[in-house]
Amino acid sequence: MTTKPIPKIRFERVGMTFPVRAPRGARARISSGARDPARSPAGAGFTALEDIELDIADGEFTVLVGPSGCGKSTLLDLLGGLALPTSGRVLLDGEPVTGPGRDRGTVFQQYALLPWRTARGNVEFGLEAAGVPRRERAERAGEFLSLVGLDGFGDRHPHELSGGMRQRVAIARSLAYDPDVLLMDEPFGALDAQTRESLQDELLRVWQRTRKTVVFITHSIDEAVLLGQRVAVLTSRPGRVKEVVPIALGDGRADIRAGGGRADNDLAGGGRSGDVPSGDDRTGGGRGGVEDPRSTPEFARHRHRIWELLHDEVSRAQELEREAVAL
């Protein structure tokens, strides 16, 4: 294999430096300029990302984890075209990203639903931007609401939906205009544990069906191991890729990825369909005798590996934070 195919996404020595607001920058320079590698020698900026090298294949589910403030969200903004890197290049299908585009769909942690629109109206929002005709919009919106398990909730306004359902609407909205890449910025961070689990399963099911390339940011190691085919661990400020851990969960994950799953657990009126083995039980599609993938030894092994990688970075990040506060 000498001729490798062009990766779907490639980060090529990507760096990102923000100009620092004068007073903070000045203070930082005086007290810790030389010791802190996050600040360039001139004290001119704040380096969020440095020399990011990462290839992501088409259809791959990649998770980014890292200590808070390591530039994970910045990385996603670069990929989304909401910001441009100060050095290096972000390539999508071999072409540099120059701005936002509907070939990438973003799911935000705070849902970002338009509160004056119904669930259906929110899903149609992206389609309107894409110039899809009205009738087709309604059809597609219905289809994608159904894909995320929100049949019958199309006419509800966001304030009438639970947090989990809101995030489902947001996911449906991002999928509806059919982007190649789904960018997810801690999408389940604001949800309670149970809702989060059911949405994780659901996301894997949707990913399986749509075969999108997913770039997913999280704080949770468990979530990273469960969802990712590969987990990229970032260092604390400035963010670099410390290591990319391939995840192989064995049968446990195969089952959950085969997608029996506990589909609609958090839908209040959705019945308990998740408890009913769905059709072909033999292949482990249902939940009947399937082990929780989160409790397998493979899961624990991967979890520990990533924990180790993160541990030093988190304590370093905390140290940096303490320093910043003490200034």
- Residue from the set 6, 26, 30, 112 that interacts with other proteins by CB under 8 A: 112
Does 82 bind other proteins (CB under 8 A)? Our answer is yes
Among 85, 126, 252, 274, binds other proteins (CB under 8 A): 126
DSSP annotation of 37 reads T
- For tokens 């159904």, the residue is 146
Q: Which is nearer to other proteins, 8 or 104 (CB)?
A: 104
Beta carbon of residue 60, minimum distance to other proteins (angstroms, whole number): 21
Residue 114 touches other proteins, criterion: CB under 8 A: yes
C-beta separation of 145 from 120 below 8 A: yes
Query: Which phi and psi (to 5°) does residue 16 adopt?
Result: -140, 120
Q: For the chain, give me the number of helices (H) and strands (E)?
A: 9, 10
Cβ neighbours of residue 322 closer than 8 Å, sequence gap 6 or more: none
**42: CB partners within 8 A, 6+ apart:** none
Choice between 130 and 138, CB closer to other proteins: 130
Binding span for other proteins by CB under 8 A among 14-22, 100-108, 237-245, 319-327: 100-108
Among 23, 41, 115, 289, binds other proteins (CB under 8 A): 115
Distance CA 115, CA 159 (A): 7
Contacts of 212 (CB under 8 A, 6+ apart): 59, 175, 179, 180, 181, 182
Name the minimum Å distance from CB 9 to other proteins.
16
Number of residues forming the site for other proteins (CB under 8 A): 26
Question: CA 82, CA 59: separation in Å to the nearest integer?
Answer: 22
Helix, coil or strand: residue 54: strand
Judged by CB under 8 A, the residue of 125, 144, 153, 207 near other proteins is 125
Query: Does position 99 bind other proteins by CB under 8 A?
Result: yes
Kindly tell me which of 92 and 309 has the beta carbon lying closer to other proteins.
92
Q: Which of 117, 219, 303, 316 binds other proteins (CB under 8 A)?
A: 117
As a whole number of angstroms, the distance between CA 285 and CA 263 comes to: 12
> Footprint of other proteins on residues 291-320 (CB under 8 A)?
none
Estimate the share of the chain in helix, then strand, then coil, as percent rounded to the nearest 5. 40, 20, 40
d(Cα 95, Cα 77) in Å, to the nearest integer?
Answer: 17
- Please state the closest distance from residue 248 (CB atom) to other proteins, in A: 33
Q: 152-181: which residues touch other proteins (CB under 8 A)?
A: 157, 159-160, 177
User: Given candidates 29, 89, 102, 303, which one binds other proteins under the rule CB under 8 A?
Assistant: 102
Among 3, 35, 116, 269, binds other proteins (CB under 8 A): 116
Judge contact between 69 and 236, C-beta under 8 A: yes
**List of residues contacting other proteins (CB under 8 A):** 80, 82, 99-102, 104-106, 108, 110-112, 114-117, 125-126, 128-130, 157, 159-160, 177
